[in-house]
Structure formats: structure tokens, C-alpha cells
A and B are shown apart, each in its own frame.
Chain A
């Protein structure tokens, strides 16, 4: 068993729990920073994504943000933000990590919301408009319910990414499960390294499961045939002249 056994012993040691540096404290602050960042990112990205998808304007913005978002290295962003946020209140490195996480979470939420709304069956939207639904009605009663699973999937991706990347918070001597790992590197304590890794894996899987359930719950009944297609920039929806 070796290292694995040591890691398990670490995790089950009651002395390690409680207090500001206990395992439980680390897990809690890790989950908090991740989910809070996703929440903030959602507040920013959801309305923008809804607008772009519904109005079909400024689509370039969504695509560019999506592209850039994938390219930006989180640790790099952390490094850039580290200095400016040094004096800010709270745990060291908290704000730098938090902002980095928000920046990381915006692209998947934005892109998925945009694609989801845009991908709703055009006939359904046209019929709804033709019957005399206001623009808002169409968004609320047709587009959002039908796009919900894809939007939630975007939130899922953001959340899992966030949980994973929040480990970086440990590097500037901050908190979260990442701190356990970084301590492990510093102290050359392999049990800490492994324990930290296992904790993160668990948190990531739990998040994945949580959101997958949410995805299924928000999937409207019998709607799968007319649901949005999972392809970005479906150019087949061009305006046709007859």
C-alpha cells in the first residue's frame, strides 16, 4: 500500500480536522471559492449569453470570448493579478485566485448559453412569434426552457474547471485543498500530496454528478427531438429570401 496507506491515514486522522487549517476547513473554503466564482461568472455571462443568442447580435463577441477563454492560462492570470491584489482583505492570494476563476468560468457559460438559445428549433421560435408572443415571452417560455440543459451543462463545465483550478490558490500560501498539496511539496510529505489529490478528485466528481443531475432535471419532457443542436455557429440558419 505504501503511500496510499499513508494518505488514507492522513485523511482519517481526527487531529487533522477542526480549526482554520483543518482538512474540513480547507475543503469548505475550496468549495466556497470555486462555487462563488462560478456564481459571479454566471451573473455576468448568463444575461450576455441570453441576449446574444436571442437577438443574434454581437455573436462575434461570444465566439471571441470563447476562444480566448480556452487559451488563457490560469496560473498566468494568477501571476498577473497577484501583485495588484496583494493588499486586499482576506486570505492571501484569495482575490487573485477568485478573479482568475471568474475569468475562467465566463467563457464556457457564455458559449453554452449562446449556443443553447440559438440552437432552439427555429420553427418553434417562428411559430411562437407568429402567434403573437412578445419577444420576452418567446425568450422566457420557449427559448430558455428548451435551452436549459445546454446552459446547465455550461455551468457544469465551469464548476468542474473551477474546482480543479482553485487548487492553484495553495501556491501563494493560500487556502483550499491546493494548500494541502503545496504543503506536501514543501514538506516533501507524500501522504499530503496523495491525500490532496484524492480530495480534489472527489470534489470534482461530486460536482460533475451534482450538475449532471441538474442537467437531467431541467431537460424538458419529450423535448429532446426539438432541443438545441450541439454545434456552435450553425450557419444553416441563414435568412432565406422567397
Chain B
């Protein structure tokens, strides 16, 4: 394995970067879509069930199948990869954002309204900051999930470090496959730890409340 690093060091680095890149894009785009959807669902409860239903359904479709489904339409492209990755983040992010907003105590909201904050100010200055711990937990979970899923995009030519896994399997090169696997495990655990530390900084009590049953 160390040979791998020595011989293909450049490629390893490139794939690592690609992995992080794909993850970051997926999370950011996911947040961009999930956030307004979640806020809307939070304000209009009736919409929440169908939204949760659709995103939940997307979540149960295995990534491989989802990419398989998309490829005929969007080809072997980054778009396919990102559409797939983003769909998986949606359920987690929406659920956690709504839960986070839910957890904001009613008195805080009332006090803010009483002071004359507009709906938008209320959202950004009161609700989101107080909901942050739970939201953050959602981001952490989504990130870690995406890291795993990126490896599967190796089938549509990306994969990040998952490429090594695929190559290893195809070429029956056990150490290459293990290398890719270990790297993906490493990325996942490191990102999880980093985000966990950040989450604890945001709110020390959050790590208990944010862990929900699967």
C-alpha cells in the first residue's frame, strides 16, 4: 500500500481532493435546497409529511440504483453524481432542520416577536441560532453519509478514493481495494470527528439531543 502512495502519490492526492470536493458540493447544494424547503415545511405543517415522504423514498433507493436510474438521462457525468448525492442529503437535512426549528422554545419566539422582529429577522436572529445544534448534527450525519456514497460514484468514473476500491476489485488487487477502503474510512471518521468537535463548540449539550434513533 505504501508503494501505491509512493508511485501514484499525485493521483492519490487528486482523488482525495475529488472526494472532498464532491462531498462539499453535495452538502452545500443540499443545504441550499433543504433549507428553504424545511423552513416552508416548518411553517406549513401539512406539507411536511409529503416532503418527508418523497425525500425518505429517495433515501431508501440504493445509491448504485439511483445512479443507474439517472445515467440513461444525465450520462456519466458529475451532474449525475451530484444529483444522486444531493438527494441523499435532503432527507437528513430537512428532517434535522425542521426538528431544530421545532426545538426552539416558544417563549424565545414570543419574546422576539414582542420586541418587534419581522418574520425574516426572527428566523435568522433567533430561530436558526437556537436550532443550530440540531441542524449541525444533521449536517454532520449528511456529510458522513455522503462520504460513503461518493465511493460508489466510482462506477460513474468519479468515486474519489472509491476509485481505488473499484480498481482493486476489478483487477483483483486486494491491497489496492483495501487502500481505497481504508482511505474512505479515514476520511469519514476524520470529518465526523472534526464536525463533532465543531458541534460541541456550537452547543455543548447538543451531542446528546441530536442523536436520534435511526
Question: Chain A at the B interface: mostly helix, strand, loop or mixed?
Answer: helix
* Known A-B contacts A70-B145, A73-B147; A181 and B68 likewise in contact (beta carbons under 8 Å): yes
B65 touches A84 (CB 8 A): no
B174 touches A86 (CB 8 A): yes
Proximity string of chain A (222-237) to chain B, C-beta cutoff 8 Å, 1 when within and 0 when not: 0000000011110100
A79 touches B155 (CB 8 A): no
Proximity string of chain B (63-85) to chain A, C-beta cutoff 8 Å, 1 when within and 0 when not: 11110110111000000000000
**Of B71, B147, B149, which one neighbours A190 at CB under 8 angstroms?**
B71
Interface residues on A, range: 35 or more
Tell me the complex Cα distance, A111–B214, Å.
8
**Of B155, B185, B212, which one neighbours A230 at CB under 8 angstroms?**
B212
B192 touches A181 (CB 8 A): no
- Tell me the B70-119 residues at the A interface (CB within 8 Å): 71-73
Interface-central residue, A72, A160, A184, A233, by most chain B CB under 10 Å: A72
Tell me the complex Cα distance, A6–B57, Å.
24
Tell me the complex Cα distance, A235–B164, Å.
44
Judged by a CB distance under 8 angstroms, whether A40 is at the interface is: no
In the complex, chain A residues whose CB is within 8 Å of the CB of B164 = 79
Of A21-29, A132-140, A194-202, A212-220, the stretch lying at the interface with chain B is A194-202
Q: State the 9 A-B residue pairs at the shortest beta-carbon distance, nearest first.
A: A83-B174, A79-B181, A73-B148, A76-B184, A79-B165, A164-B62, A80-B181, A193-B68, A190-B72
A sample of 12 inter-chain contacts (CB < 8 A) reads A75-B154, A80-B181, A86-B174, A154-B214, A171-B166, A171-B169, A185-B156, A190-B71, A193-B72, A196-B65, A197-B69, A231-B209
